[in-house]
Amino acid sequence: PKLVAEHKKNGRPTFSFEYFVPKTAQGVQNLYDRMDRMNQLGPQFIDITWNAGGRLSNLTCEMVNVAQSVYGIETCMHLTCTGMPKSKVDNALKEAYKAGCTNILALRGDPPRENEKWEADPHGFRYAKDLVKYIKSNYGNHFDIHVAGYPEGCDDGTDPELLLEHLKEKVDAGASSIITQMFYDVDIFLDWVRKCRDIGITVPIIPGIMPIHTYAAFMRRATWTKCHIPEKWLYLLEPVKNDDVAVRDIGRDLMVELCQKIIDAGILHLHFYTMNLATATRMCLEGLGLIPSLQERTKALPFRPSLGLNR
Ligand code: FAD
């Protein structure tokens, strides 16, 4: 089933989990165990990130296969243009197809190493939209294709309005939903969603939620993505920064408030950046009252994200 399918969940918010590919075989095994446990929380789908070429991208294909066929969970495979000649893109898509995967998050990709300038592979693609078009032209409607959106701009400093136009181009190329970069300021996110709607982007927008694990990780991620931290958050978190339990409790309350505002705006799907850890995500879902009962889970229906903000 596709992520964007008919749904009849009576407006109850749904959620999904992103996992990144661990660097070691032991890490992969640990992640499988964790994924298995986290599936009990009832995600509608999971996604697996893509690294620039090499062994780790083979692992993405393997993990997508295991998640689809062993755990039976709808899995979205990230796929990037970094270091990917068309032949490698073809192989990755073939593997995804064989695994029964029907969802791809098509990305330009990060540079291979930090601080390096991104360069297109001479036999590959330059922009995510080129990858979207290529997947569409080779696989028709087999894959639902998703693309990335940036409520607070991209780290390459592209003008926000131009970035929105580029986002629209990606959607017009055939994407059926947008998954966003993480953010801590919900008003910035909701304002950006309105701007997307104003320029004619009508597909569902799925907010990327980064739960708070520790103060250090919280600050590091804000710096890394250059996202705005509301003053209240710093005021509450800074004084307890050396107490991980207090940070997680306050972090849960802040995240629950953020997610609730999103839900109240009519956006009924939350995408969690789990960072391969269960606790902070689970606490947030518990705080929102979103963990379905066993009975509800056995009756789970295909996922369709709502459009939100009256679209
Ligand atoms: P694009 O949409 O292609 O945009 C890249 C740049 O090109 C932007 O500045 C854009 O404005 C510009 N551009 C686009 N079209 C044009 C045009 N026509 N003319 C001129 N300029 C143009 N990275 C990974 O390596 N692996 C992952 O698994 C991964 N997962 C991610 C998941 C999410 C939800 C998000 C938000 C990001 C993820 N990333 C991942 C990071 C992403 O690859 C980087 O942020 C990357 O720098 C941009 O990717 P994009 O797909 O948004 O690129």
Q: What is the DSSP string of 239-280?
A: GGTT-HHHHHHHHHHHHHHHHHHHHHTT--EEEEE-TT--HH
Higher pLDDT: 293 or 233? It is 233
For residue 2, the model assigns a pLDDT of 40
CA separation for the pair 73, 77 (Å, rounded): 12
The Å distance, Cα 32 to ligand 1 centre, comes to 28
Task: State yes or no: pLDDT of 306 exceeds 60.
Answer: no
* pLDDT given for residue 55 in this prediction: 72
Q: Does residue 282 surpass a pLDDT of 80?
A: yes
pLDDT digits (tens, 9 = 90+) for 158-207: 788 999 999 999 999 999 999 999 999 999 999 999 999 999 999 999 99
Atom 24 of ligand 1: nearest residue by CA position: 109
> Which residue CA neighbors atom 49 of ligand 1 most closely?
108
DSSP conformational letter for 166: H
From 3, 107, 182, mutation site for ligand 1 pocket: most ligand atoms within 8 A of C-beta:
107
Tens digits of residue pLDDT in 135-153:
999 999 999 999 999 999 8
Sign of CA dihedral 58, 61, 62, 67: positive
Question: pTM (2 decimals)?
Answer: 0.93
User: CB of 3 within 8 A of CB of 300?
Assistant: no
CA atoms within 13 A on the CB side of 96: 29
Pairing state of beta strands 45-48 and 14-19? Answer: parallel
| Catalytic residue numbers, as ranges | 18
Of the ranges 10-19, 33-42, 281-290, 296-305, which is most confident?
281-290
Instruction: Read off φ and ψ for residue 297, nearest 5 degrees.
Output: -65, -35
pLDDT tens per residue across span 86-109: 999 999 999 999 999 999 999 999
Q: State if residue 168 touches ligand 1 by the CB under 6 angstroms criterion.
A: no
